[in-house]
Amino acid sequence: MELLTNLTINGLATGMLIFLLAAGLTLIFGLMDVLNFAHGGLFAWGAYSSVWFYALTDSFVLAILGAILTGVILGFITEKLIIKPVYGNHVQQILITLGFMLVLTEMLKVVFGPNQIAVRTPENLVGSWEIGDVIIIKYRVFIIIVGFLVFGIFQYILKKTKIGLIVRAGVLNKEMVQTLGINIKNVFLYVFIAGASLAAIGGALFAPYSGVIYAEMGMEYAILGFIVVVIGGMGSFPGSLLAAILVGLVGSYMAYYVPSLSLAVNMIIMAIVLIFRPQGLFRAKG
Amino acid sequence: MNTLLKVDGVHTHIKQYHILQGISFEAIEGQVSVLLGRNGAGKTTTLKTILGLTPASQGRITFRDIDITKKPTHGIANTGIGYVPEDQGIFASLTVEENMKVAMRKEDEATLAKREYILDLFPDLKTFWKKDGGLLSGGQKQMLAMARAFVGNSKLLLIDEPSKGLAPIVIEKVMEAILDMKKHTTIVLVEQNFIMASRIGDTYTLIDNGETVQSGLMQELIHDEQVKRKYLGIG
Ligand SMILES: Nc1ncnc2c1ncn2[C@@H]1O[C@H](COP(=O)(O)OP(=O)(O)O)[C@@H](O)[C@H]1O
Ligand SMILES: [Mg+2]
């Protein structure tokens, strides 16, 4: 019981972190048809900047806000300089965003030093609750709550606001949206910035969770993000949440019960989904 | 007789293909101008070129005396042009209400009044107001596409083959609706169904191989058996 609870909470927490990464990727792909391999770089920058802001302010709230600010600025720069010139060309997108990913990674080393950095859990989130024999680590619960909160906020924006409506319409038919008088390029920019901020929040939450941050972490997690986008259905926000939780939970159980399979299992899930539902669990387009 | 839209010597290239090779016609305010021509003549491309979706490589398009030839699509739409594409372009997983809402720039009284008017014209849309656009019948999708273009505050509607794939009784409804909408807006209509075209068109422009062949009053074309046979394969 205790073990299962812990594995589940751990899996959910990991799932939420992957969701924050995948959410931006799926929106950017769904709406803009852009393959953004630099997305993990924004996750890593979110982690580093939150640690920097935390050291400066001693407030985890400000640290997360600092990460969001970093996400907004980097998102703006990335869309304007890197993505905009390659709309509509997947090969160029892959090449230029992979290149930019390396630049973002190297820049982290230049700014924050080449060594990995140890991170402490914020003071008021340290510790655990004991319920019977079950010990629940507070910070993991915190990640799960923030993940659902972010999902709720974005889902509200997508479902209930005019800009959200325009984004959903744009995912379905860009050309039509433009003929209705909407400047899709502005919408692209907002969505890209929103996606970058989500990745940065993910990075900020990841830092105390893993206890250590390093420049290459973005690359590692971006791969999980891509897997989740494919499983969830490209362009589907709820699909990403579900797929991320699935990958998080299965990863957590497998790491304990069948550790030899824990790396391969994500690929296996993806392959199974692709065989039975090539469009992913949720279908956004069509 | 006010010229609302003037297309003047327009050429369009798509990739390496020279699709439009000299299209010229005018749309007079308050009238229905019909573009006629065989399949593949360039009618759809003409509408797309007006909207900047396949921009003109040569020539000039003016709308309400504004040169829109080089404007981006959303800018052209915002000068007051609405589009009903051949495939209707319904947002399948958005409800009827949401499909309309994307098009409504404002929700002021004038726009809401327009929406009221168009929903009275297409009561089916009211019935299925909360239903996903993708679940509508072909005729209802056509109605939604027309209603959506209409509430976008358009002074001019470009409608591409609204009768395509519809049952005769539905075609009748769509035709009645276009005649009613004509009281409020100017219309450029692409229509292969000559019976429909001749009943609602005021003027026509004949397109063949990407070029304007001739334009004139619909009344005159109805009796011109030779032209009808040569370019439309009828009569
Ligand atoms: N994207 C495209 N690429 C290549 N050729 C095209 C494209 N779109 C249209 N065409 C060609 O342009 C010509 C005119 O097409 P279109 O304007 O759709 O004709 P119509 O609407 O009169 O049937 C056709 O020969 C068609 O094959
Ligand atoms: Mg056509």
A168:B94 CB<8 A: yes
At residue A18, the pLDDT reads: 95
* Beta-carbon contacts below 8 Å between A and B: 62
A161-185: per-residue pLDDT in tens?
A: 999 999 999 989 999 999 999 999 9
Find all residues with CB under 8 Å of A171, minimum gap 6, and list them. A30, A31, A235, A284, A285
At residue A3, the pLDDT reads: 87
Task: Provide, as residue numbers in chain A, all residues whose Cβ is less than 8 Å from the Cβ of B157.
Answer: none
At residue A284, the pLDDT reads: 61
Which atom of ligand 1 is found nearest the CA of B210? 14
Instruction: Say if residues B197 and B36 touch (Cβ distance below 8 Å).
Output: yes
Q: Provide the pLDDT confidence category of residue A65 given band limits of 50, 70 and 90.
A: very high
3-class DSSP assignment, residue B207: strand
Asked if residue B87 has its Cβ within 6 Å of ligand 1, the reply is: no
Total-model pTM? 0.90
Mean pLDDT, residues A227-256: 92
Residue of the nearest CA to atom 20 in ligand 1? B40
Instruction: Say if residues A232 and A282 touch (Cβ distance below 8 Å).
Output: yes
B156, burial (CB in 10 Å: exposed 0-12, middle 13-18, buried 19+)? buried
A188-206: per-residue pLDDT in tens?
A: 999 999 999 999 999 999 9
A213-216 CB contacts, 8 Å cutoff, 24+ apart: A213/A44, A213/A47, A213/A48, A213/A51, A213/A116, A213/A117, A213/A119, A214/A116, A214/A117, A215/A44, A215/A105, A215/A106, A215/A108, A215/A109, A215/A112, A215/A114, A216/A44, A216/A105
A180:B102 CB<8 A: yes
Indicate the domain borders of chain B: 83-154
Q: What is the DSSP letter of B65?
A: T
At residue B235, the pLDDT reads: 63
At residue A286, the pLDDT reads: 40
At residue A280, the pLDDT reads: 86
Task: For residue B40, give both structure tokens.
Answer: 């593949």
Closest CA to A154 of A197, A205, A206: A197
At residue A113, the pLDDT reads: 94
Asked if residue B43 has its Cβ within 6 Å of ligand 1, the reply is: yes
Closest CB from A173, A178, A182 relative to B91: A173
Q: What is the DSSP letter of A278?
A: T
Instruction: Say if residues A266 and A62 touch (Cβ distance below 8 Å).
Output: no
At residue A285, the pLDDT reads: 53
Cα B219 from Cα B202, distance rounded (Å): 8
pLDDT in 10s for each residue of chain B, 235 residues? 799 999 999 999 999 999 999 999 999 999 999 999 999 999 999 999 999 999 999 999 999 999 999 999 999 999 999 999 999 999 999 999 999 999 998 889 989 999 999 999 999 999 999 999 999 999 999 999 999 999 997 899 999 999 999 999 999 999 999 999 999 999 999 998 898 999 999 999 999 999 999 999 999 998 888 888 888 887 6
Buried b (16+ CB within 10 A) or exposed e, A203-233: bbbbbbbeeebbbebbbebbebbbbbbbbbb
For residue A9, pLDDT over 70 is answered with yes
Cα A264 from Cα A8, distance rounded (Å): 19
3-class DSSP assignment, residue B5: strand
Interface test with B, best of A159, A175, A176, A187 (most B CBs within 10 A): A176
Q: Provide the pLDDT confidence category of residue A2 given band limits of 50, 70 and 90.
A: confident
A255, burial (CB in 10 Å: exposed 0-12, middle 13-18, buried 19+)? middle
A121-151: per-residue pLDDT in tens?
A: 998 899 999 888 888 999 999 999 999 999 9
End-to-end alpha-carbon separation of chain B, Å?
A: 31
Closest CA to A47 of A97, A106, A112: A112
Give the Cα-Cα-Cα angle A169, A170, A171 (nearest 5 degrees).
Answer: 90
3-class DSSP assignment, residue A159: helix
A77-126: per-residue pLDDT in tens?
A: 999 999 999 998 999 999 999 999 999 999 999 999 999 999 999 988 99
* Predicted-assembly ipTM surpassing the 0.85 threshold: yes
For residue A218, pLDDT over 50 is answered with yes
Task: For residue B88, give both structure tokens.
Answer: 């209707």
Instruction: Say if residues B95 and B131 touch (Cβ distance below 8 Å).
Output: yes
For residue A71, pLDDT over 90 is answered with yes
At residue A89, the pLDDT reads: 92
Instruction: Say if residues A253 and A7 touch (Cβ distance below 8 Å).
Output: yes
Which residues partner with B83 through β-bridges? B158
